[in-house]
Structure 1
Amino acid sequence: MTRTFQERAAHARWASRRREQKRLGVWKPFVPAAPVREHLERVREAGMPVRATAVRLGLPYTAFEYLVWGDQNNPPGELVRTETAELILGYWPTLADFPDGSRIDPTGTRRRVHALETLGFSQKFIADRLGIQNSNFARSMVVDRVTARVARGVAAQYDLLWNKRPEDFGVKQWVADRTRRMAARQGWAPPLAWDDDTIDDPTAVPQMDAPVPGFTEGDDVVARFLLGESVVLDRAAQREVISHLMEWSNETPEEIGARLGMTGPAVGQTWVRMNREARAAGRPVPWRRVYIPRNEINQNDMRSAA
């Protein structure tokens, strides 16, 4: 079989790595299969079929059959190739990976629905947007598992509606008000209380000091806020304020949080996340500047500096 240039280059890199590891006496072409099999079983329990995992990782399904069940009346293998083990152990399915019919943990789906309800979007409204009968959708909010198709549909609606007004989508005022009151009684967290990176994690907790998104008309909302005008910021504007004050002011995270209705740790976490996003996107990474107010420098300090 003729190999492509990329395949030949990959094989050359692997052969070079193998030679170097042999020279150093650390070459291990195989590792125990049990930890890999246990991890793969946890992936299966999360709702990701073995065949779908093989496709996602670009590995032959026969390798998984041998690893999980064995083949030709032989028990599961005791050893697995190191490269295969590293690939499997480093994988955990995202919401986009699951086949539509997979039944997965409903935590993130419920949190997104409840967060939208704090804004006034009812479950019936969300169900109608998804093309699902309301009674069926209501049941999916209380069962132990939800289909990946429903979870992805809810996630898409959440991304669209998290900072919108229900009334702008045809929801009657009294329906939105009733939904908000119900959500408040239940103590559900609003969208700004959840981190997009951890909302699906059952162990994550909401940042409950985060305000429900408000809606302010006009342009230059961030500049008006920094100049002292009483305006309400959405999540993007809030992040812009944090970025500006952390980079260009002497205010501590606690002082910035007091202005935004957040805690100091929440401000610090947002700052770290923005730096990580900038680095990943190849943008200049903002950095924390430290200023010494002029009135804090006395005459002796000035003489020493001179």
Structure 2
Amino acid sequence: MNAGRPHGNAKYHLEKCRCYQCCYAASEYDRNRRRAIAYGRWQPFIDAEPIRQYVHALGEFGIGWMRLARLSGVPRGSMSRLLYGDPTRGTAPSQRVRAKTALAILAVQPTLDNLGARARIDGTGTRRRLQALVAAGWTQSELARRIGVDSANFSRTITSDLLRAATVRAVNALYDELWRINPVEAGVPSHRAAAARQIATSRGWAPIGAWDDEQLDDPDAFPDWTGFCGTPQGRRAHYRARVPVCPPCSQAANQTAAA
């Protein structure tokens, strides 16, 4: 079930939420249903094709139909008939589907929490989180141990464009746990923490403070190394901090020089 489903008629029926908003939405739905029946406009079944296309679209995100059945609460038999029909009876895929079933399926979104563990997704935020932790002094071997990745494969994890959803979820949780913790106080030897920070500096990995939370997963975002990044003062601030000049600061300096 999708615990993140918004409050309303779907949450009332599918998650048994009995808050005021859900109860009101369910009451309105039932009232409109009775009115439609009275006027001969009630359609308990709807065209199945758009729902089938949505199921296929979720499959592109790594949410297979069996996983979708579990997340939506729709019986696997109903989902199978929607997609493939009933081979034992020689019937084609469903032409119509109950509105309640459609509502349950459409309520499932391709969020990180819903993706299958092996689904391959963008690794931008994962790279930045791991690199920032290394810049804080966490060793790569310790980070690999904490997320359950073999140390030999960690170098790919910290630089890959695509990663498994399970790895992304594990790194997100690890970052939330460690970003405020001093690695030396947590048991990382001071000389190894210093070596980790040096590796991060040599590779231009941005520290934790350079990222706002909403930017970590944005492929188009740049870290604010100095507090002045993207401004005419940015390049000088980089020199004072002894960190590489970032593209926004280079662009700002060039625009100032050309003015």
TM-score range, shorter chain: 0.5 to 0.7
* Counterparts of residues 237-248 of structure 1 (less than 5 Å): none
Q: In the superposition, relative to structure 1, how do residues 77 and 111 fare at CA in structure 2: closer, same or farther (>3 Å)?
A: farther
Q: Is 1:37 matched up with 2:52? A: yes
Structure 1 partner of 2:121:
105
1:38 alignment partner AA: Q
The Cα shift of 1:15 comes to: 5.1
Structure 2 partner of 1:179:
196
Aligned mates of 1:19, 1:70 — CA distance in 2? 31
Aligned mates of 1:26, 1:141 — CA distance in 2? 57
For residues 188-227 of structure 1, what are the alpha-carbon distances to aligned partners after superposition, in whole Å with 9 as ceiling and x for unaligned?
A: 444452426x755xx5544633779xxxxxxxxxxxxxxx
* Counterparts of residues 1-306 of structure 1 (less than 5 Å): 16-23=31-38, 27-72=42-87, 73-98=90-115, 101-107=117-123, 108-141=125-158, 145-192=162-209, 193-195=211-213, 199-200=216-217, 203=218, 205-206=220-221, 208-209=223-224
Aligned mates of 2:57, 2:139 — CA distance in 1? 34
The Cα shift of 1:128 comes to: 1.8
Segments of 5+ residues of structure 1 without an aligned counterpart are: 1-5, 213-306
Percent identity among equivalent residues?
33
TM-score (structure 1 length as normaliser): 0.53
For residues 131-162 of structure 1, what are the alpha-carbon distances to aligned partners after superposition, in whole Å with 9 as ceiling and x for unaligned?
A: 43201333344556534443332222111111
2:94 alignment partner AA: G
2:77 alignment partner AA: T
Q: Which moved more, 1:151-160 or 1:69-78?
A: 69-78
Runs of 4+ in structure 1 off by over 6 angstroms are none
Aligned mates of 1:46, 1:83 — CA distance in 2? 23
CA contact (8 A) 2:121 2:165 kept: no
Report the count of equivalent residues: 204
CA contact (8 A) 1:36 1:85 kept: yes
Q: In the superposition, relative to structure 1, how do residues 57 and 116 fare at CA in structure 2: closer, same or farther (>3 Å)?
A: same
Segments of 5+ residues of structure 2 without an aligned counterpart are: 1-15, 17-22, 228-259
The Cα shift of 1:126 comes to: 0.5
